[in-house]
Amino acid sequence: MDNLKIEGTKQTPEIDFNSSTGILSISGRSIPENTFEFFNPVLLWLDEFSSIAPEKVIAKINLEYFNTSSSKYILEILKRLRIILKDGKDILVEWYYEEDDEEMMETGEDYEDVSGLPFEIISIDDE
């Protein structure tokens, strides 16, 4: 299966999903004009990936900002990871936030509660 790599822009996050290592990285800002158009290929890739996922999958989410419509798609991504978890694979979501961004930290905690996935909430210095 091919990896999924989408370069980030000022409005869209960088997507770097590696099917062989199981490391799925989303970083940057997510305020695309057409959220469906941007995230649909990501969800389709995850649907295919779920059948061949390695024993351990790590989702690294490091978003400095995302809009409401992006938040719905982040939840959809987490739902697909939950399917992989139910298939007996080891899943970890690493949720990164800048140390002074309490709202992003709490958002990660909310996603952890809603998704039922194991999260590691990680503070990073915003140097």
Asked if the model's pLDDT at residue 126 lies above 90, the reply is: no
Taking only the tens place, the pLDDT of each residue in 6-57 is 999 999 999 999 999 999 999 999 999 999 999 999 999 999 999 999 999 9
How far apart are the C-alpha atoms of 122 and 112, rounded to whole Å?
Answer: 13
How far apart are the C-alpha atoms of 95 and 78, rounded to whole Å?
Answer: 12
- Number of domains making up the chain: 1
DSSP per-residue letters across 97-118: EETT-HHHHHHHHHHHHHH---
CB-based contacts of 117, cutoff 8 Å, min separation 6: 78, 81, 82, 85, 91, 93
Taking only the tens place, the pLDDT of each residue in 60-114 is 999 999 999 999 999 999 999 999 999 999 999 999 999 999 999 999 999 999 9
Which residue range forms the structural domain that includes residue 72?
Answer: 4-124
CATH of the domain at 8: 3.30.750.24
Q: Residue 59 in 3-state DSSP?
A: strand
Q: Residue 46 in 3-state DSSP?
A: helix
Please, are residues 5 and 19 in contact by the beta-carbon 8 Å criterion?
no
pTM score of the predicted model: 0.95
Handedness of CA 124, 12, 69, 4 (dihedral sign): negative
